[in-house]
Amino acid sequence: LFWLSLNVWFFLKTFLLYYQGLQYYYLHQMLGLGLCVSRASASVLNLNCCLVLLPMCRVLLAFLRGSQKVASRKTRRLLDKSKTFHVTCGVTICIFSVLHVAAHLVNALNFSENYNEDFPSINAANYRGEVSQLYLMFVLVPGLTGVIMVLVLFLMCTASTYAIRVSNYDIFWYTHNLFFVFYMLLMLHVSGGVLKYQTNLEEHPPGCFNPNKTLRENMTVPKAFEELFPDYTTEPFPEDLSVPEPFVQNNFMRICSEEPKFQSHFPETWFWISGPLCLYCVERLYRYIRSNKPVTITSVISHPSNVLEVRMIKDDFKARPGQYVILHCPRVSALESHPFTLTRCPTDTKATFGVHLKVVGDWTERFRDLLLLHSNQDTEILPIFQQRRYPKLYVDGPFGSPFEESLNYEVSLCVAGGIGVTPFASVLNTLLDGWKRYKLRRLYFIWVCRDIESFRWFADLLCMLHNKLWQENRPDYINIQLYLSQTDGIQKIIGEKYQALNSRLLIGRPRWKLLFDEIAKCNRRKTIGVFCCGPNKISKILHKLSNSSNSYGTRFEYNKESFS
């Protein structure tokens, strides 16, 4: 609401300034509402071009989320909506860019049709009736840069759609990096100085009477001025023509002492975007320096259902459960990199950290081929451990995510869909090392998969945590429920050591309403953190149920991570 109010306020403030401002009186007479709309939309564009970069400052967001500066959980949850805010600002830029372009096309026509012969300096056209649209668009700097910016913005917006990102992520990645070109053109765009304002309002009030000009051009004056200026009166002013309003207001005549002077605006866009752009560039430089040393890959494990686990070591690498890193492998792609959630975090005793990645696209396929020897490993049931000389891999991060909060609730509900289990794997690994130092005292873990083999990704981890808690006489600390959504019959996770999980394996989909009611009943008058990483369909259901009231006084706070 605050962001929306800012946009409305800037639009209205700028619109009224150009509509009523005396310094824009002559310019507004010539261009009309096109001037007001173009400048008002430009002010909204300045605001959003400033804000759209801030959510991409990942190091800053991770610092704020992990520091004591942001003590409020509600405030930290707002940081988790940074991606949504980035998309919202991007859509706003697209909408108001269209409005800005349309208004300037009207201005280009009015510059030609309403050519002001009295004040040639404020005209962009060369003469009345000139077809100036092409001239303004392709000859002047603002027009040419504006056309290129529209093309860049069109490429970035179309490539950011969900269909393009899913079908070909490379297109999204490369076109989105055109933002730097967009900002450079934006700085040039505002340097043209096509629109000008009047600087000498005291010497020349807009619409005032200039007796020197009247005498010089042998013009007539209204009767209202005959008595005050008899020397300047040459012929009677037509009786049927009333005295123009600008000449007389409240019985006070405004007299010009000189001709109006016009000057181009100093570009304001620099003030808006220079700070965030410099902040973003400094952060990218810091991230480059921090990640310029390759990690040491200790092992690569191929899991069922096309999932690859990579374990690594890096000097001075620290991370919190729920965070993610960005992997860059130059042999796969010189520029492309991808984020992956940490499934194993380094501890005081173990420096190893790791990620699980599902092979679903060109980048992950090429990365898998470089890590694993060509064999028939896809047909194997058990995970395969292979050692070889691995390619150079660079890790950028870690960066924050909503799942860092899962250990800060007394009760947490974690729901995973398929490979969406990865954020919770790091949480489970952390609890396996020791759970007593965290606030969390009860964890509900729901995992929904389509095939039975997917549960084997973290079956060993779940069994070890289950056995550890039983040995410590805390079997109620974690409630594990595994759901197999698609099956032809009764199935079990193969292996005697997985008996604890087989008893918790259910066929079908969770009955979410009953599940929430049961959790609320067992945790009366408590605040429960709800964390979801999975398909949007599950996410929407959980979000709706979290916002619903219950008769037990239990409050659910929803947190989400999405595949998109």
CATH of the domain at 320: 2.40.30.10
Same domain for 279 and 325, yes or no, is no
CA 158 vs CA 34, 53, 153, 174, 188: distances in Å:
28, 19, 9, 12, 24
* Among candidate residues 81, 83, 91, the one with its CA nearest the CA of residue 157: 91
Kind of pairing between the strands at 478-484 and 442-449: parallel
Q: What are phi and psi of 490, to 5 degrees?
A: -70, 125
Q: Which of 227, 249, 283 is the last residue of a domain?
A: 283
User: Rounded to whole angstroms, how far apart are CA atoms 498 and 458?
Assistant: 11
pLDDT, tens only, 371-424: 886 434 443 433 444 445 788 899 998 888 888 888 888 999 999 888 888 888
Q: Looking at the domain assignment, is residue 230 inside a domain?
A: no
User: Rounded to whole angstroms, how far apart are CA atoms 297 and 391?
Assistant: 9
**pLDDT higher than threshold 60 for residue 540:** yes
CA atoms within 13 A on the CB side of 324: 19
Q: Looking at the domain assignment, is residue 131 inside a domain?
A: yes
Q: Looking at the domain assignment, is residue 148 inside a domain?
A: no
Same domain for 420 and 552, yes or no, is yes
Q: Supply the Cα-derived Rg of the chain in whole angstroms.
A: 33
* Among candidate residues 249, 423, 244, the one with its CA nearest the CA of residue 322: 423
DSSP string, 273-307: HHHHHHHHHHHHHHHHHHT-SPPEEEEEEEETTTE
Q: Are 325 and 342 in contact (CB under 8 A)?
A: yes
pLDDT band at 127 (very low <50, low <70, confident <90, very high): low
Question: Which H or E run contains 533?
Answer: strand 527-534
Q: Looking at the domain assignment, is residue 220 inside a domain?
A: no
Q: Which amino acid is at 201?
A: L
Residue written as token pair 């991007």: 90
Same domain for 336 and 313, yes or no, is yes
Q: Which of 362, 380, 399 is the last residue of a domain?
A: 399
User: Rounded to whole angstroms, how far apart are CA atoms 92 and 445?
Assistant: 38
In which domain, by residue range, is 427 found?
406-561
Q: Looking at the domain assignment, is residue 241 inside a domain?
A: no
Of the ranges 62-66, 467-471, 508-512, 559-563, which one carries the lowest mean pLDDT score? 559-563
Same domain for 345 and 431, yes or no, is no
User: Please, what's the b/e burial string for 274-307 (b: 16 or more CB within 10 A of its CB; e: otherwise)?
Assistant: eebbeebeebeeebeeebeebbebeebbbbbbbb
Same domain for 556 and 453, yes or no, is yes
- Predicted local distance difference test score (pLDDT) of residue 394: 92
300: which strand partners? Answer: 310, 386
Same domain for 368 and 421, yes or no, is no
Same domain for 271 and 324, yes or no, is no
- Predicted local distance difference test score (pLDDT) of residue 382: 37
pLDDT, tens only, 506-539: 888 889 999 999 999 888 888 899 998 888 888 8
Q: Are 80 and 559 in contact (CB under 8 A)?
A: yes
For 557, residues 6+ apart whose C-beta sits below 8 A from its C-beta are 73, 77, 409, 527, 528, 529, 530, 546
Q: Is the pTM of this model over 0.85?
A: no
User: Rounded to whole angstroms, how far apart are CA atoms 308 and 355?
Assistant: 8
- Predicted local distance difference test score (pLDDT) of residue 9: 93
**pLDDT higher than threshold 50 for residue 228:** no
Q: What are phi and psi of 218, to 5 degrees?
A: 55, 45
500 vs 534, which has greater pLDDT?
534
Same domain for 4 and 121, yes or no, is yes
- Predicted local distance difference test score (pLDDT) of residue 92: 93
% of the chain with per-residue pLDDT over 90: 12
User: Rounded to whole angstroms, how far apart are CA atoms 523 and 413?
Assistant: 12
pLDDT band at 551 (very low <50, low <70, confident <90, very high): confident
User: Interhelix angle for 2-20 vs 82-113, to 10°?
Assistant: 10
pLDDT, tens only, 194-209: 677 667 767 767 766 6
Question: Which H or E run contains 313?
Answer: strand 307-313
**SS3 category, 67:** coil
pLDDT, tens only, 22-72: 877 777 777 788 888 888 998 999 999 999 998 888 888 877 776 555 556
**pLDDT higher than threshold 90 for residue 93:** yes
**pLDDT higher than threshold 90 for residue 12:** yes
How far is it between the farthest Cα atoms of the chain? 114
Same domain for 277 and 297, yes or no, is no
Mean pLDDT of 214-229: 47
Q: Looking at the domain assignment, is residue 493 inside a domain?
A: yes
**Number of folded domains in the chain?**
3
pLDDT, tens only, 397-408: 888 888 888 888
For 310, residues 6+ apart whose C-beta sits below 8 A from its C-beta are 297, 299, 300, 354, 355, 357, 371, 393
Count of beta carbons in the 10 Å neighbourhood of residue 344: 22
Same domain for 415 and 501, yes or no, is yes
* Among candidate residues 483, 526, 521, the one with its CA nearest the CA of residue 505: 483
Q: Looking at the domain assignment, is residue 278 inside a domain?
A: yes
DSSP string, 476-512: TSEEEEEEE-S-SS----SSGGGHHHHTTEEES---H
pLDDT, tens only, 135-155: 555 567 777 888 888 899 999
Same domain for 413 and 544, yes or no, is yes
Q: Looking at the domain assignment, is residue 91 inside a domain?
A: yes
Same domain for 430 and 348, yes or no, is no
